[in-house]
Every structure is written in structure tokens, then in C-alpha cells.
Amino acid sequence: MNELKKAKSALVSVFHKDGLEPLVRKFHELGIEIYSTGGTQNFIEQLNIPVNAVEDLTGYPSILGGRVKTLHPKVFGGILSRRSLAGDVTQLEEYEIPEMDIVVVDLYPFEKTVASGASEQDIIEKIDIGGISLIRAAAKNFNDVLIVPSMDDYGTVLDILNEKDGQTSIEDRKKLASRAFNVSSHYDTAIFNYFNKDEHTLKQSITESTSLRYGENPHQEGRFYGNLDELFDKLHGKELSYNNLLDVDAAVNLMSEFTDTTFAVLKHNNACGVASRPELLDAWKDALAGDPVSAFGGVLITNKTIDVATAEEINKLFCEVVIAPGYNEDALEILKSKKNRIILVQKNITLPTKQFRTALNGVLEQDKDIKTDAIADMKTATNTAPTEEQKLDLEFASKICKHTKSNTIVLAKGRQLLASGTGQTSRVDALRQAIAKAEAFGFDLNGAVMASDAFFPFPDCVEIADNAGIKAVIQPGGSIKDQNSIDYCNEHNMAMVFTGTRHFKH
């Protein structure tokens, strides 16, 4: 099985010609007979390299506007024939079919065509038929044939041919066959997802991945599937860990809610500090004040370019990651002074609107929670209406609440997060936790507002909030006992608004 096979012929039919020339020249140098068609044939001829037209082999021209070129027994017979079977060899001789030892394919760019916003007709024409068939045939017959399924593999195959003087091992061919079925299955998945409108079938294919140092804990392996370079430019620091990525994801989604100059600090996927201010430095200082203890080792994010003054203050804190749309040159040098600090520039891209999560022996899918509670959504449920200032704070608190683990209560004042109760089994416990944290860091809760991710089944939360000095509340409403909370607020001159939208986050 370790016997090397020397290639005598190659079929080359590719869309992208970039990087193809060195491979074709190597074929010629090794005396490999080349077959090709269409634009690829013209490309090879312009290199002054002999090439056989597939049309001459099959006796048929390229027809139907190029839709049918290589789909012929004289092509596929030479690819699929089993060299060790006498019957196959005899039939090749009988029908004058040459063996194809190497097949080089690069598929029509279907995904790029869809992403470009092209018309449906243009997209349909970029569904490769011949190419995908060639890939599958050559990969199936890996015992005898080497498949080159993508332009990304030209260099790999060139190295193999250079190292082994035009020969390939079964390990080489089987590895590229695996790669080929990865290419073909990814291609078919993209086509299905383009067409699929009604079938509830989960098909996802992500070919790019990064090995992580470990998973959530050192004894767990971890890997990220996707292309982070589409979202970030990494300017400095160590590689992002599994836990870093979860925090960065939470940070990016939270910051997407804000347009005013805002800074946020996150730890274990929850915000421990958020503030919106006219000046970035003030936003940073007030975000940090929300919980300077939890901020240690956290992820920092802002929606504005970081300047020198802000960088100098950030540099006083140990943090894992800093994310911003940009950095002043001197500010960047300051932040780079910590060797392992990860510094990211966030790009402006659209994030997925579907979410997936493994559960039991399957996968859960849901639409992403893209509903943001705005002032226009607030329906005053009490006799006392919130002031304009309170409405701004209620909107601010609700945005944070939406991105905090349930059960949660968020307390805010003056567009600053004072404290939150996160991930509690009881809403009352979440509120008590938030009050205790706010008081521990010296915040005055008089005049603060409270946001809840779900309704209050009892009036206990508004009563506890009232006793702490909180005077305005935002919640979804919808409990059969809403009136009990409304009555308490009316009796104590509290304002409460309903949004009609729950924001559980588990």
C-alpha cells in the first residue's frame, strides 16, 4: 500500500487560474500529458505548454453555453478505472480511453456570487456540475488518482511532486481525497442553504478553524470554527482563548446596542461596568467604577477610537482584551506595553441572526434576540410616568439587561451601570445582589432605575427596590399578577413601564 505511483496524465479544469502556472509547468517538466478544456486550455496554451483538448478526446464540443464539457465516459472512465482490475484495463483499451492520474479542479465561486448580490440567474450559472463530478470521481478512486480539489491545494500538490519526483503515495492521495469531499460537501451545503426556504434541516459547513490552547478548562480541548479576521484586526497580544472568545462575543453584542460614546467592561459574559458619556475618558472611568474588582482580568470594549488619555487610564488595570474601532498611534503604544494584552480593532460587519447550541443529543436553533427596547416601546403602567431623564436611564438599563444572564436585575442612573444581579435562580435574589453590590461600591441608589429581564409575579421586587431608593422600573409585564406590582408602585409614587418583550438569556 506504500507503493509510489508515477503520474502519466492529468486533467486540468479550473475556474481560478491564480497559482496554476507553476503546477502546470511541473506537469510539463515531468512529462505528464495534460488534458483540458475552455478557458483553462487557453491559459495553458498561452504558456506554450502542450495540451490536449477534451473535445478531441470525447469527440464532442463544449455545448449548452459551456454547461457540458467534461461529462463524458471517455473522461470519467479514465478517472474511475481501477488499475488493478483487468476488466477495467481491458475496457479502457477497447474504448480508447486514457487513464487520468491527476485531476485538478477549482469550482465556480458560488458563495462569492451569492454574497455579491448577483441575480438569481447569475447565481444558478455558478452551480458547478462538471467540476463537482470530477472531484467526487477522482476522490472515490484515490487508490489510483490524485485529486486537486481547489486552488488552495495547488501549492500542496506541487510540493508533493517536487519531493517525490512526480510520484504520489497512497497517504498523499487519500489525504487529498478527504480534502476533496470536504470541498464538495461544503459547496453542496452552500447551494442547499441558498435554495432552502421550507425544510427544517440543519446544514452548516465552516471550513476554517483555529485550535485553541484549551476549552473552558485546561483538561478540555477547544477549537473555534470561523474566520475571526473578518471581524477583527489583531494588533497585539497572545492568542484568544475559548473563554476570551465567549467574553468577546458577549462584549460585541452588548456594544452593538449603543451609538453614544460608551465603554463596557465584561467578565464571564456579563457586563460589570457600562457608561455612556460625551467624552470617552469619562465613559471609561465611570464604567470601571461600576465594579473595579470584577474588572480585573476582564474584556474592555468601546465604540469610539481610543485616545492617549483613555489608554493611560486603561493601562493601570490588568485586562485580557481591549476592543475598539480604532486607536490613536500613541494610545496603541501605551496599550502594547503589556505583552500579553490582546488588542483588537473591530470591523463593521453583519453578525449572524441565527443562534445554535448543543443540547442533549441534538442542537437547538433560535433567532437571535435583535429586539431592543426603546423609549417608544415603553407603556406607562402606573399613575406616575417616568421623567425624560428616567426614560433615558430605563432604556440604558434595559439594553444591559438584555445581554445579562437570567435571572437578572440591572440598576442604573445617569447612563451608568450601578450594579446588576446576574444568573440568579430567583429574581428577588438578583435584586438583592444588585443592591448589595451597588452599596458596596458606594453608589447612591436614590433616583436610580431598575430593569428586569422578565415580569414580576409578585410585588416583592418593586417593594425592595422602593426601599432602596429606586423610583422607576422597566419590565416586560405579562404576569397575571401585574396589578399587584402596579398597585404598590401607585401607592409609593413609583413609575413603571411595560415593554411587552421578555429578554431571557441562558
Helical ranges in 293-443 per DSSP H: 308-314, 329-335, 388-402, 427-440
Q: How far apart are CA 488 and CA 479, in angstroms?
A: 15
Report CA-CA distances (Å) from 98 to 9, 72, 142. Answer: 8, 13, 17
Output the tens digit of pLDDT for each of the chain's 506 residues: 467 899 999 999 999 999 999 999 999 999 999 999 888 999 999 999 999 988 888 877 777 777 777 778 888 899 999 988 899 889 888 988 899 999 999 999 999 999 999 999 999 999 988 899 999 999 999 999 999 999 999 999 999 999 998 899 999 999 999 999 999 999 999 999 999 988 888 888 998 999 999 999 999 999 999 999 999 999 999 999 999 999 999 999 999 999 999 999 999 999 999 999 999 999 999 999 999 999 999 999 999 999 999 999 999 999 999 999 999 999 999 999 999 999 999 999 889 999 999 999 999 999 999 999 999 999 999 999 999 999 999 999 999 999 999 999 999 999 999 999 999 999 999 999 999 999 999 999 999 999 999 999 999 999 999 999 999 999 999 999 999 999 999 999 999 999 999 999 99
Bridge-based pairing state of the strands 52-53 and 472-475: unpaired
pLDDT reported for residue 58: 80
Bridge-based pairing state of the strands 495-498 and 379-380: antiparallel
Q: Which of 26, 140, 174, 304 is catalytic?
A: 140
Q: How far apart are CA 471 and CA 473, in angstroms?
A: 7
As beta bridge partners, residue 262 has: 276
pLDDT reported for residue 88: 87
Q: How far apart are CA 23 and CA 106, in angstroms?
A: 13
Q: Which of 174, 268, 304, 338 is catalytic?
A: 268
pTM of the full structure = 0.88
Task: Find, among 63, 33, 62, the residue nearest to 50 by Cα.
Answer: 33
Q: Does the annotation mark 506 as catalytic? A: no
pLDDT reported for residue 2: 61
Q: With helix as H, strand as E and coil as C, how does 116-157 read?
A: CCCCHHHHHHCCCCHHHHHHHHHHHCCCCCEEECCHHHHHHH
Q: How far apart are CA 450 and CA 435, in angstroms?
A: 10
Q: How far apart are CA 101 and CA 33, in angstroms?
A: 10
Q: Does the annotation mark 140 as catalytic? A: yes
347 in helix, strand or coil? coil
